[in-house]
Amino acid sequence: MSYIDGFVIAVPTAKKDEYRKQAKISSSYFKEFGATRQVEAWGDDVPDGKVTDFKRSVKAKPDEVVVFSWLEYPDKATRDAANEKMMTDPRMKEMGANMPFDGKRMIVAGFNPINDSGQAAKPGYIDGIVTPVPTANKDAYREMADKHAAILKEYGATRTVDAWGDDVPDGKVTDYKGAVQAKPDEKVVYSWVEWPSRQARDKGWDEAMKDPRMKEMKMPFDGQRMIYGGFAPMLDA
């Protein structure tokens, strides 16, 4: 089974090109270490929330943009081995010393996909979502995610992925649990939806939300603490 490392990062707007350049360089290293895909997506439609949101999740400043990013691996063993290599590789150490963002506010964790529907083609737009789900509701969430994916694909989405929190560490400044105010009996779910374009995404959601199947769907989690946003891909390697 595949494995996901999911990242959320606050990057200064002025350093977008610098971030893109570093991400492109790092993609060759991650591939060497066993990753099968790296996606970096720049915040485009990232709303403020009443309780939680992506900006607050990484304490983003007014001059910073949220980046939604992930690495895909063939399995957890490959991911764990890759992380060990990264810790000792001098190229990664040098890159870490020159990151164009505040690494202390980056949040990262490992996730097991429980729904992966569609084709991983290069998307033109991405919806990123992070959700706190009661551990006892895992099966109910998986069932909802399968139905949700089927509907969104009818309206233009090319792929949907929902990944269950597996290796979600506590952070000193920020972390996934704090991002969604997760309770002790909840797990963090990292999800995304791939679309051909921003236009297709806007149209797809508009049509999907009018679908009675979507309106009837019950969420087995607290939707007020879910964070979401729209992101424009800047690297898909």
Average pLDDT over residues 68-93: 95
d(CA 3, CA 170): 20
Total of domains in the chain: 1
d(CA 205, CA 157): 9
- Give pLDDT, residue 86: 92
For 170-189, what is each residue's pLDDT tens digit? 999 999 999 999 999 999 99
DSSP-H helix ranges across the chain: 16-33, 54-57, 76-88, 90-97, 138-154, 176-179, 198-208, 212-216
For residue 82, give the amino acid letter.
A
pLDDT bracket for residue 30 (50, 70, 90) = very high
> Looking at the predicted structure, is the pLDDT value of residue 121 above 80?
no
CATH of the domain at 167: 3.30.70.100
Tokens 């033109």 belong to: 124
Q: What's the domain range around 18?
A: 3-236
In what helix (H) or strand (E) does residue 226 lie, and over which residues does it extend?
none
For 202-216, what is each residue's pLDDT tens digit? 999 999 999 999 989
> Looking at the predicted structure, is the pLDDT value of residue 219 above 80?
yes
